[in-house]
Amino acid sequence: MGLCIYLNGEFITDKKLAVTSIYDHGFLYGDGIFEGIRVYNGRIFMFEEHMKRLYDSAKSLALTIPMSIEELSEITMETVRRTGYRDAYIRLVVSRGEGDLGLDPRKCGRPSIYIIADSIQLYPKEKYDVGLTIVTCSTRRNSPDVLCPQVKSLNYLNNILAKIEVNRAGADEGLMLNPRGYVCEATADNIFTIKNGTMFTPPPFVGVLLGITRQCVLDIAEKFGIKVIERNMVVHDVYVADEVFLTGSAAELIPVINVDDRIIGDGKPGPVFKKLLAEFREMTKHRGAPVYD
Ligand code: PXG
């Protein structure tokens, strides 16, 4: 029991043996897609949503995943089952496959499927208690008319460039804007603000990935009767918010207490955030597709 990797038909438990062709266009051109999925308490959280998003990303790239969503879901299940882990992180990658040194995807035979089921690297607990310091990055988020952010592609270069800025600034995370300067999201997380009890988050068309955790938060807010407005925001709106937090499959809900040296609220994770996080954690305990009998 331990890490398990599915690689084009084989289950591999030794990381060193999980190797692929350097002619894979996923490697040569970032031509492929991925999902990052959590397993909580023996259940794959929001599994159907992640699988649907994967197949939508594939469709957008005219990449035909060589099996049905049901088959790939079952193989993903089996990969997790073989780890024996009750809490895990799944990285599901589909690339265009092995081709030649030209761009032409027709030269690639069959798309490659890689599933990594590994133990989860949690964010340090104190980050949830103390909150993150973030900075606005000069690297802009992809424009939807260039590469739609709904496609969770293997090309994350803008986000990586933003992360390099974050590291240079000694911050925890970065705020990415769209080419017009509207707030989009962090480098791999969506953003929410709270002002006078109302919750705000950037709308889809501004150029954000419609995160699955983002949708969970919208659902929880509805359940609690919290008013939510999806609208364009500028950095000023973030600076003057009462609360700011990020959401993502890996980060879950994580508070932000400093943005470009502006202290958010009283500099501590706020009450709305705490309430939402508690409900989210509750949700992860019993929701999801069971891996084990
Ligand atoms: N925005 C972007 C750009 C993302 O890549 C999210 C928001 C949050 O989406 P979900 O569906 O996870 O709530 C993502 C998440 C990781 C990892 O290690 C995750 C992402 C990208 C890179 C790494 O978990 N995507």
pLDDT tens digits, 125-168 = 899 999 999 999 999 999 999 999 999 999 999 999 999 999 99
The predicted pLDDT at position 123 comes to 80
Mutate to test the pocket of ligand 1, among 147, 189, 283 (most ligand atoms within 8 A of CB): 189
Q: Report the percent of the chain where pLDDT is more than 90.
A: 96
The predicted pLDDT at position 125 comes to 87
Residue 242: pLDDT over 80: yes
Residue 215: pLDDT over 90: yes
Query: Mean pLDDT, the chain, as a whole number?
Result: 96
**Which residue, among 142, 116, 123, has the nearest Cα to 35 in the 3D structure?**
116
Q: Report the C-alpha gap between 88 and 93 in whole angstroms.
A: 16
Polymer length in residues for the chain: 293
Token pair listed for 59: 């469709």
Residue 248: pLDDT over 80: yes
CB-ligand 1 contact for 46 (6 Å cutoff)? no
The predicted pLDDT at position 52 comes to 98
Crossing angle of helices 212-224 and 271-286, rounded to 10°: 110
Token pair listed for 278: 């508690």
Is CATH 3.30.470.10 correct for 4-118? yes
Residue 210 alpha carbon to ligand 1 centre in Å = 10
Q: Which range is least confidently modeled, 118-122, 232-236, 287-291?
A: 118-122
What is the number of the ligand 1 atom nearest to the C-alpha of 36?
24
Sorting pLDDT into bands at 50, 70 and 90, what band is 122? confident
Residue 92 alpha carbon to ligand 1 centre in Å = 13
CB-ligand 1 contact for 204 (6 Å cutoff)? no
Residue 186 alpha carbon to ligand 1 centre in Å = 9
Residue 24: pLDDT over 80: yes
Indicate where the chain has its CATH 3.30.470.10 domain(s).
Answer: 4-118
Residue 194: pLDDT over 90: yes
What is the mean pLDDT of the segment spanning 6-35?
A: 97
Q: Whose CA is nearest to atom 24 of ligand 1?
A: 250
The predicted pLDDT at position 113 comes to 98
> What are the φ and ψ backbone dihedral angles of 150, each rounded to 5 degrees?
-70, -20
Mutate to test the pocket of ligand 1, among 190, 210, 220 (most ligand atoms within 8 A of CB): 190
User: The domain 127-285: what is its CATH number?
Assistant: 3.20.10.10
Residue 120: pLDDT over 90: no
Indicate where the chain has its CATH 3.20.10.10 domain(s).
Answer: 127-285
The predicted pLDDT at position 262 comes to 98
Give the amino acid at 279.
E
Beta carbons of 249 and 213 less than 8 angstroms apart: yes
